[in-house]
Structure 1
Amino acid sequence: MEKPGSDPVEGTRFIEAPHADDRVLDTGALRALAHPLRVQIYDILSQYGPQTASSLAEKLGESTGSTSYHLRALAKQDLIQECTDRGTGRERWWERPVGGVSFANADAMKTPAGRAATQIVMNEFFRNRQEQLMRFIHDGLSSSAVPWQSGSLISTATTRLTPEQSQELSAKIMALIDDAVDTYRNQTGEDVRPVTIRADVFPLPDLGGQP
């Protein structure tokens, strides 16, 4: 982010919103976001904080006119907002509002347009996340990444749970993440960097013949 910890969001959910105040995106917002470049813009604002059309264009290899157009489309659905405390008439800054966002809208999934928009958004978000993960793994082999190796976690585990136990585990993990976000959201310093926190808890597919 331009200023590390500058009003980071609470999180992005792909399943039922775990917090009562999470915004569940309606079909209109999902359709506005359902564009690969808009997902990337939304992601950068979420992870790195406020940006201008120019800074986004530089990061994404796009024209300023293109990023400006997509910023306006996102703003129409209140997915992002203009920073009122910075910038000028010629250089507008944009940010993602603080708060959790969930793409799990049961009503939207009842319509073809809602399902299609949700699928595009989820595909792009997870593609971006996978690219970031693979880049970290690749860069982790270099000496510049050594300080972060012991503080990073890439782990997969399997256990056997009931739906109720899975819900309890998910709540505990979410509480830890919430605490970290609340504690460090405005932290600054020489060694401070944006850190993405991923948590996946889901049942494996039934392969048949399993005990």
Structure 2
Amino acid sequence: MRKSKSFSARTLDANALKSFAHPLRLRIYELLDERGPATATGLAALLGENTGATSYHLRELARHGMIEVAAGMGRGKEKYWRVVPGGFTYGDAPPDAEAASALEVLLDDLVRQRGSELARWREGASRAPAEWVEASGFGRRSLRLTVEETAELRDQVLEVLERYRTVADGRQAEAAEEGRDPSTGHVVIHFDVLPLGAVPEDEAAGQEADPAGQEAGPA
């Protein structure tokens, strides 16, 4: 979710970072992103929480512009919530120590989510429609590049992702009025640029040599 400032995603400020770095809010956002609009009651059932708790966390996410009420859905006072189109970025490490700590939590959760999604696809791909399997792909490249080339590569890939994000956002707006297009699916793109060569050798070796000293992350 980190990206160059030349792209349109909103950068979360320190207060938004601190608010978002909450296990239940992260899970609520993840469910809304994956499944589409939902009510506090529906989310409570999925999460094994009470409606009061999910309502509170939904309001907090909305207060920081992460989600919004899905117009035209629900009856009476019933509210459906959806992820705000356009996406967001975490940006650079903030000077505020509490916000910087929250950013670490969010980045760790991003790594967890990526691992979970990769494992889910590997386990379930054999049951997916053939056309979706053929359209999917795994990729890894190990390259020797300069700092400038690395930044250029990152930005070029993000430009492509931005183009398709715009298409998806427009489709999301149409779905609110006309219903979801059955030919579309929830597609996740993982993209990382990791200059591992910039990590000092002794630090990397120390981490590998002492796995028992590393605190286990969330499953």
TM range (shorter): 0.7 to 0.9
Question: Per the alignment, do residues 57 and 129 of structure 1 end up closer, same or farther by CA in structure 2, a change over 3 Å counting?
Answer: farther
Q: What residue ranges of structure 2 are gaps of 5+ in the alignment?
A: 173-179, 203-219
Partner letter of residue 48 of structure 1?
Answer: R
Q: Which residue of 1 aligns with 2:158?
A: 174
Match of 1:85 among 72, 85, 90: 72
* Structure-2 separation of matches of 1:184 and 1:75: 21
Shift of 1:101: 0.9
Q: Which residue of 1 aligns with 2:88?
A: 101
1:192 aligns with 2:180: no
Contact map agreement 1:24 1:101 (CA 8 A) in 2: yes
Q: Which residue of 1 aligns with 2:133?
A: 149
Counting only pairs closer than 5 Å after superposition, residues 21-170 of structure 1 correspond to structure 2 as 21-106=8-93, 108=94, 110-140=95-125, 142-170=126-154
**Pairwise CA RMSD of aligned residues?**
2.2
Shift of 1:74: 1.3
* Structure-2 separation of matches of 1:81 and 1:184: 17
Match of 2:194 among 187, 198, 202: 202
Question: Per the alignment, do residues 158 and 179 of structure 1 end up closer, same or farther by CA in structure 2, a change over 3 Å counting?
Answer: same
Give secondary structure in 2 for the equivalent of 1:156.
Answer: coil
Give secondary structure in 1 for the equivalent of 2:201.
Answer: coil
Deviation string, structure 1 residues 91-125 (Cα, Å, up to 9, x no partner):
2111222223111244x2x1220111111122223
* Structure-1 separation of matches of 2:71 and 2:30: 21
Comparing both structures, which one devotes a greater share of its residues to helix?
Answer: 2
* Structure-2 separation of matches of 1:129 and 1:116: 20
Give secondary structure in 2 for the equivalent of 1:104.
Answer: coil
* Structure-2 separation of matches of 1:60 and 1:128: 16
Structure with bigger RCO (C-alpha 8 Å, 6+ apart) = 1
TM-score w.r.t. length of structure 2: 0.77
Counting only pairs closer than 5 Å after superposition, residues 6-21 of structure 1 correspond to structure 2 as 13-19=1-7, 21=8
Partner letter of residue 34 of structure 1?
Answer: A
Give secondary structure in 2 for the equivalent of 1:81.
Answer: strand
Give secondary structure in 1 for the equivalent of 2:135.
Answer: coil
Question: Per the alignment, do residues 191 and 22 of structure 1 end up closer, same or farther by CA in structure 2, a change over 3 Å counting?
Answer: closer
Percent of aligned pairs with the same amino acid = 32
Q: What residue ranges of structure 1 are gaps of 5+ in the alignment?
A: 1-12
Question: Per the alignment, do residues 89 and 125 of structure 1 end up closer, same or farther by CA in structure 2, a change over 3 Å counting?
Answer: farther
Question: Per the alignment, do residues 125 and 63 of structure 1 end up closer, same or farther by CA in structure 2, a change over 3 Å counting?
Answer: farther
Q: How many residues align?
A: 192
